[in-house]
Structure 1
Amino acid sequence: MNDQVSTFGRLGAGIVGIVALGTLVLQTTINTEPGTSPLENFALLFRFFTIWSNFAGGVAMLWIAAGRPISERMTFALATALTIVALVYHALLAADHHPVGLDWWTNLNFHTIIPATFVLWWAVFSDRAHLTWRSLPWVMVFPIIYTAFALIYGASTGFYAYFFLDLPSLGWGQLLLNMIGLSLFFVAMGAVLLALRKLLRRDLA
């Protein structure tokens, strides 16, 4: 990236990062109940993949805004994760989910604004030379880490955030099939993002 694009890129990254982490702080205050601390409520949010991906995306954007180097594969993996967060919510959950007040704003940010702006930033400012089809396995980094956490947390508390990871109800056989399906979904979405970025860069060239 040239200096001008790099400057705009860092500015854009800073805005996205501030919105992402600010939304997390706001959601923590909304969820705080009598007898619990904000830190406890912040930790409870991380039961959900949506929060993992938004938090990681926000940290990555602020890291970039500070002028720090970051792996192109890492931002690619985050772009894929956030795209899936948005698609799954709007395709499967939004019709039956009707948040109000401040919850409406945080929900909009988590499932629409932050994913869209992160992916747009990635499409415009990421370095094409460092990403090829061989980068696709990297999209599995975050779902693998989250799945391991979710299974450990579920085994210790009995709470599974998503039905397709509910090991006691599913059994190992169905769980493994679900994980294979999710893996293919992530890889396919990563491939779509790479293809779309190539088209975008070609049109802008």
Structure 2
Amino acid sequence: MNYQSKYFYSRCLLAILAIVGTTLEIVKYGIGMLMYYTVQSNLLVALFSTYMVSALYRKKDLQSRSFLRIKAAVTMSIMITCVIYHLMLAPLATDFWRVENLLCHYIVPLYFLLDTLFLDKQRQYKWFDPIWWTTLPVIYLAFALINGLFIKWPIPEAKDSPFAYFFLNVPKYGWNFVLNYSVTIFIAYLLAGFALLLLKSIRVPNRSRKPRTV
């Protein structure tokens, strides 16, 4: 069994967990759950993991530099779901112990992060990659503010609907509050991206290589 096919079943499980978590959120609470970054990022992981399973089945290369740089962007996008929820939203949650909640906010993000850290080759990213990895969260921020201020599509289970999250509610808290939160999250996200770049830049010795004999 080669390196690519060795982790086929692990990524099958990852895809299943992401699909189940996303599906439960939408089936239980409605299609409007797609307005949440949490559900969008988990859907992205579900699609990306399904692609990885399909690629492994077809024996395609999942260790190319271009693929791993894109995968890192997905990793960062799902990990912000875990971190923001744990630090800012979980303390306010009244229904924490739901299967879909644990899947979407903890199990799937951490599973995907571990997959990236331990199964992907080292030294594949470029120095500026953490900058463009911020693209998806920034796009979501713009989308969430436009919806909350102008379109006003209702968001299921959101106390601050049509804003998905309390720290985006401009009419209630003001622009200074929203901008302070947004800039802080952006900087933390960017620093986390460079931390991932640093971790994946460390040269790991090849343990399969036999020691030289004198």
Distance, in Å, in 1 between the alignment partners of 2:83 and 2:27 is: 26
In the aligned structure 2, how far is the partner of 1:105 from the partner of 1:160?
24
Paired residues for 1:21-32 under 5 Å:
21-31=19-29
Distance change in 2, residues 1:196/1:203 (3 Å): farther
Counterpart of 1:80 (choices 72, 76, 96) is 76
In structure 2, the residue matched to 1:99 is: 95
**TM superposition shift of 1:96:** 3.6
Q: In structure 1, what is the equivalent of residue 121 of structure 2?
A: 127
Alpha-carbon shift at residue 147 of structure 1 (Å): 1.2
Compute the RMSD of aligned alpha carbons: 2.6
Q: Which residue of 2 aligns with 1:49?
A: 37
Give the AA of the match of 1:49.
Y
Higher helix share: 1
Quote the Cα distance in structure 1 between the aligned partners of 2:148 and 2:79.
25
Please report how far the alpha carbon of residue 175 of structure 1 lies from its aligned counterpart in structure 2 after TM superposition: 4.0
Question: For the pair shown, which has the larger CA radius of gyration, 1 or 2?
Answer: 2
Partner of 2:48 in structure 1?
60
- Quote the Cα distance in structure 2 between the aligned partners of 1:204 and 1:116: 25
Map 1:1-205 to 2 at 5 A: 4-31=2-29, 41-42=30-31, 44-67=32-55, 71-99=67-95, 104-155=98-149, 156-157=151-152, 159-172=162-175, 175-198=178-201, 202=204
**Structure 1 unaligned spans of 5+:** 32-40
Q: For this pair of structures, how many residues does the alignment match?
A: 190
Distance 1:98 1:61 in 2: 30
Aligned pair in 2 of structure 1 residues 71, 51: CA closer, same or farther (>3 Å)?
Answer: same
Give the TM-score normalised by structure 1: 0.79
Is this contact kept in 1: 2:148–2:163, CA < 8 A? yes
* TM-score of the aligned structures, taking structure 2 as reference length: 0.76
Separation in 2, partners of 1:162, 1:97: 12
Shift of 1:186: 0.9
C-alpha spacing 1:88/1:10, structure 2 compared with 1 (3 Å):
same
Tell me the distance in 1 between the aligned counterparts of 2:206 and 2:108: 24
- Mapped partners of 1:172, 1:110: distance in 2: 29
Structure 1 residues 154 and 89, CA, compared in 2 at 3 Å: closer, same or farther?
same
In the alignment, the residues of structure 2 paired with residue 12 and residue 204 of structure 1 have an alpha-carbon distance, to the nearest angstrom, of 22
Query: Matched residues in 2 for 1:195 and 1:145: separation?
Result: 25
Instruction: Tell whether the 8 Å contact from 2:124 to 2:201 is kept in structure 1 after alignment.
Output: no
